[in-house]
């Protein structure tokens, strides 16, 4: 079957095929969302976190995945806003309690390291606190270390499913109708 | 292309055949029998879903309010829950909906209406990860698409190593039907001329990544093969099917529990059922939960199927000359056990006592992840625009005899960039260095995971729980199932050979998993109504016809005599085609 195939003709995505498949996709998704669903308007109050907690989460997530020359970081990707919305609607009390307690543990650690809550200490001191939290990542011992695992896992999941994560940082090339030569190597 | 309209079922008439179940087996039976002009009624326990609207294959994660996650109140069972607890897993749960582990993968919200809610569908006994899809097309809506043939290393395995039973047919008997399935449904792959993994009639193959090409070259020197995923996907298109598009390598295949909204990947509704409806000979009744195979009290033959409407709970009877079970390996066995009568006191077709027994499947878990160092830091490429990665066919117990275990295993593998960066969740640290490491390494990982043959054993079985019932008051299955010594030895060998292959290819090993996953994980359950020549030790003959009841066929995976290590869907369909061909001949000759 593949032997007789006329390469160029067969592989090029014809205009007719493109229209047919695109039309089918549109028909199938009458409620296609164009707006990222679970945000909140800029400046609106957080729904799960207190204002102080929200500022802390926003800072911590940005420290986990910061902006660099290639792409925006967790703050630009709206990670804290997304987490706030998921926690607000969640029915899992344990998960919500873990976040409340974890953020308190971060401030507790900051007080023991630098004498003040996390957001009131200097950037180098913040880095020192987060470094302490990340010290035993694979086998966390303290409440702050255990919270780091959760903070990081959620930040990674949310950031790399965001527009910035997928398109700017990863330069993801897929989720397109390929035409012409498909990518990769022929097994010969 | 819109699906054809559903005709009203006429329960006053006697259909030529009634089929229970609309997955790969039931869809194929409907296709073959309607193509011969027979009047067929197809009963499906679940709904007919607007599946394209469910799947929305090209929706970006950030276009979904929860990035594809399930809504609050829904829960997917975890490995720990399957291991520590015993079924029914949804008992005493605070969650509104509980799903099997496949809904724990990313993008589960797109498939939550395809799989069953464990609360409505309990089962009991030993731990088992039983994944079910009650909707038109069943599990073919989300299957993994690996479409492999079996060979006489499988059909004649007892002759080869002395264990178990041979199948009552050989590769030569089934080869023409594998060909028919290939041509009717489309399959992608590369010819390798392996006696233990026969080639199909392939359409355009998908491509390999740089790391996979290296593995292919190096393993070739060891006499092992890396071949592009043999996908049950039409890559060149099918002129005879207006419901399916060819594959455009969009790459949604790897990031969700499954599904293809342009139907390039085979699914039973667009591949088999809608074309069968277009013949005018197929009547479809959805929300129809088969309760019992009805028996003619004079002859002991099947006369139809009793079913409940899943929405109203009302009972109905459908009459037919032939009853064809295709409800899945475990549900067909359950239905046979439920169908007790004066003539068939232990369940219809069960004079041998083998219904529910010889239950087998594929072992999963052992896997290795490696790093192709030359790819670290390279520009990102499009690597996942294909329905699957690659396959390493079985190499154990073919020519030489392996110490410690019989039978074999193959590996499924994947590598390269994906929408969610591989390695991101396992990369230690935080900050700019972490972010750069994730970016630089995302395309360099390669992983392989084994699928091994679990031996068919009489003592691995399901029966009916004497007390527990499902939401509709029907007794549920009770599992008596565990892996044995052969599986443990095989799992150790899987880890050893996986590591040895990466080493040979100069791929740095970065992760090894030795743990065997909960039984059921492969979603390849088989064997509960096996074929055989001897009615005392088997349930069906080589045409999947009951030894006891000549007008009862069971055409799904329950008929398989052994699990092989090759994925079963293509074999299920080839067997169903062959049996239905034979059935139509027998009916024409008046032999039923």
Does B109 touch chain A if contact means CB atoms closer than 8 Å? no
Contact call for A5 and B236, based on CB within 8 A: yes
Q: Does a structural domain hold residue A110?
A: yes
**pLDDT band, very low/low/confident/very high, at B451 (cuts 50, 70, 90):** very high
Q: Nearest CB to A134: which of B246, B249, B430?
A: B430
Task: Report H helices in B350-430.
Answer: none
For the stretch B237-284, pLDDT in tens is 999 999 999 999 998 787 778 899 999 999 999 999 999 999 999 999
B298 CB-near residues (< 8 Å, 6+ apart): none
Closest residue in A to B192 (Cα) is A188
Q: Nearest CB to A182: which of B207, B236, B245?
A: B207
Percent of chain B residues past pLDDT 70, beyond the cut: 100
**pLDDT attached to residue A24:** 40
Does A166 touch chain B if contact means CB atoms closer than 8 Å? yes
Q: Does a structural domain hold residue A31?
A: no
Chain A CB contacts of B260 under 8 Å are none
- Mean pLDDT of the B474-495 span: 98
Q: Does a structural domain hold residue A156?
A: yes
Q: Does a structural domain hold residue A180?
A: no
Q: Output the pTM of the full model.
A: 0.93
Chain A CB contacts of B62 under 8 Å are 36, 161-163, 166
Q: Does a structural domain hold residue A74?
A: yes
Which residue segment(s) compose the domain that A98 sits in?
A: 51-169
| Distance in Å, alpha carbon of A42 to nearest chain B alpha carbon | 17
Interface probe for A, chosen from B417, B430, B440 (most Cβ of A below 10 Å), is: B430
SS3 B289: strand
In total, how many domains does chain A have?
Answer: 1
Does A172 touch chain B if contact means CB atoms closer than 8 Å? yes
B509 CB-near residues (< 8 Å, 6+ apart): B368, B369, B370, B499, B502, B503
Residue in the structure block whose two tokens are 């390849």: B524
Does B227 touch chain A if contact means CB atoms closer than 8 Å? yes
**pLDDT attached to residue A42:** 61
For the stretch A104-141, pLDDT in tens is 999 999 999 999 999 999 999 999 999 999 999 999 99
Structure tokens at B253: 């295949």
| Distance in Å, alpha carbon of A115 to nearest chain B alpha carbon | 24
- B477, pLDDT greater than 90: yes
Omega cis (within 30) before B88? yes
Q: Does a structural domain hold residue A25?
A: no
Contact call for A25 and B58, based on CB within 8 A: yes
- Mean pLDDT of the B280-309 span: 97
CA distances from A114 to A110, A119, A147, B102, B289 (A): 6, 11, 19, 46, 66
ipTM over 0.85: yes
Q: Does a structural domain hold residue A40?
A: no
Q: Nearest CB to B227: which of A5, A130, A187?
A: A187
For the stretch B30-48, pLDDT in tens is 999 999 999 999 999 999 9
Contact call for A170 and B381, based on CB within 8 A: no
Contact call for A1 and B236, based on CB within 8 A: yes
For the stretch B38-75, pLDDT in tens is 999 999 999 999 999 999 999 999 999 999 999 999 99
Q: Nearest CB to A161: which of B386, B420, B434?
A: B420
CA distances from A167 to A160, A170, A176, B63 (A): 9, 6, 13, 14
- B79, pLDDT greater than 60: yes
CA distance B77 to A29: 29
Does A19 touch chain B if contact means CB atoms closer than 8 Å? no
* Cβ atoms A144, A133 nearer than 8 A: yes
Q: Does a structural domain hold residue A42?
A: no
**pLDDT band, very low/low/confident/very high, at A40 (cuts 50, 70, 90):** low
């Amino acid at each position: 079957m593949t032997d007789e195939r006329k390469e160029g003709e067969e592989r090029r995505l014809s205009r007719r095929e493109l229209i047919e498949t695109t039309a089918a996709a549109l028909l199938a998704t009458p409620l296609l969302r164009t707006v990222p669903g679970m945000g909140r308007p800029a400046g609106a109050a957080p729904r799960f976190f207190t204002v102080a907690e929200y500022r802390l989460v926003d800072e911590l997530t940005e420290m986990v995945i910061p902006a660099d020359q290639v792409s925006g970081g967790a703050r630009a990707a709206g990670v804290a806003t997304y987490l706030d919305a998921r926690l607000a609607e969640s029915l899992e009390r344990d998960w919500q309690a873990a976040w409340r307690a974890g953020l308190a543990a971060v401030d507790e650690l900051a007080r023991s390291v630098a004498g003040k809550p996390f957001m009131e200490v200097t950037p180098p001191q913040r880095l020192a606190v987060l470094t302490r939290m990340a010290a035993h990542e694979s086998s966390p011992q303290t409440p702050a270390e255990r919270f780091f695992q959760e903070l990081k896992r959620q930040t990674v999941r949310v950031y790399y499913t965001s527009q910035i994560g997928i398109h700017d940082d990863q330069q993801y090339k897929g989720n397109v109708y390929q035409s012409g030569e498909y990518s990769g190597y022929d097994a010969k | 292309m819109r699906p054809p309209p559903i005709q009203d079922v006429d329960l006053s008439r006697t259909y030529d055949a009634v089929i229970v179940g609309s997955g790969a087996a039931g869809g194929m039976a409907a296709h073959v029998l309607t193509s011969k002009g027979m009047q067929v009624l197809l009963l499906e326990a679940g709904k007919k879903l607007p599946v394209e609207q469910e799947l929305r294959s090209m929706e970006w994660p950030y276009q979904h309010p929860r990035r594809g996650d399930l809504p609050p109140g829904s829960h997917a069972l975890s490995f720990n829950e399957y291991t520590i607890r015993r079924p029914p897993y949804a008992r005493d749960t605070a969650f509104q909906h509980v799903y099997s582990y496949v809904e724990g993968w990313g993008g589960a919200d797109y498939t939550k209406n395809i799989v069953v809610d464990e609360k409505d569908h309990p089962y009991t006994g030993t731990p088992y990860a039983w994944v079910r899809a009650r909707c038109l097309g069943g599990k073919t809506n989300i299957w993994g698409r690996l479409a492999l043939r079996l060979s006489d290393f499988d059909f004649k395995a007892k002759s080869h190593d002395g264990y178990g039973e041979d199948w009552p047919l050989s590769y030569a008997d089934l080869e023409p039907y594998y060909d028919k399935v290939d041509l009717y449904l489309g399959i992608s792959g590369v010819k390798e001329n392996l006696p233990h993994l026969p080639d199909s009639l392939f359409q355009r193959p998908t491509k390999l990544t740089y790391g996979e090409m290296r593995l292919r070259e190096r393993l070739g020197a060891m006499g092992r093969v890396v071949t592009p995923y043999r996908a049950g996907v039409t890559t060149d298109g099918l002129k005879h099917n207006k419901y399916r598009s060819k594959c455009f390598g969009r790459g949604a295949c790897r990031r969700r529990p499954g599904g293809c909204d342009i139907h390039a990947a085979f699914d039973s509704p667009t591949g088999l059922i809608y074309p069968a409806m277009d013949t005018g000979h197929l009547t479809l009744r959805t929300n129809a939960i088969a309760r019992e195979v009805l028996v003619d009290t004079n002859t002991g033959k099947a006369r139809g199927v009793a079913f409940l409407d899943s929405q109203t709970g009302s009972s109905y009877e459908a009459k037919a000359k032939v009853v064809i079970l295709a409800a899945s390996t475990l549900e067909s066995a359950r239905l046979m056990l439920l169908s007790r009568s004066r003539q068939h006191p232990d369940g219809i077709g069960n004079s041998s006592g083998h219904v529910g027994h010889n239950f087998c499947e594929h072992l999963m878990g052992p896997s290795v992840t490696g790093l192709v160092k030359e790819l670290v830091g390279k520009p990102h490429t499009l690597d996942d625009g294909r329905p699957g990665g690659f396959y390493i066919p079985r190499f154990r117990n073919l020519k030489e005899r392996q110490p410690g275990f019989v039978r074999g295993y193959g590996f499924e593998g994947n590598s390269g960039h994906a929408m969610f960066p591989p390695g991101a969740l396992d990369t230690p640290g935080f900050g700019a260095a972490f972010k750069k490491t994730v970016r630089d390494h995302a395309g360099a990982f390669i992983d392989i995971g084994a699928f091994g043959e679990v031996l068919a054993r009489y003592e691995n079985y399901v029966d009916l729980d004497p007390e527990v019932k499902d939401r509709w008051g029907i007794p549920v299955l009770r599992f008596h199932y565990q892996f044995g010594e052969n599986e443990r030895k095989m799992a150790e060998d899987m880890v050893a050979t996986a590591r040895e292959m990466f080493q040979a290819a100069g791929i740095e090993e970065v992760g090894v998993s030795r743990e065997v996953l909960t039984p059921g994980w492969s979603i390849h359950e088989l064997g509960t109504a096996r074929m055989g020549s001897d009615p005392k030790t088997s349930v069906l003959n080589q045409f999947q016809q009951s030894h006891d009841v000549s007008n009862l066929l069971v055409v799904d995976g329950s008929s398989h005599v052994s699990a092989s290590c090759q994925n079963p869907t293509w074999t299920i369909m080839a067997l169903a085609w062959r049996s239905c061909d034979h059935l139509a001949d027998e009916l024409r000759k008046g032999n039923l």
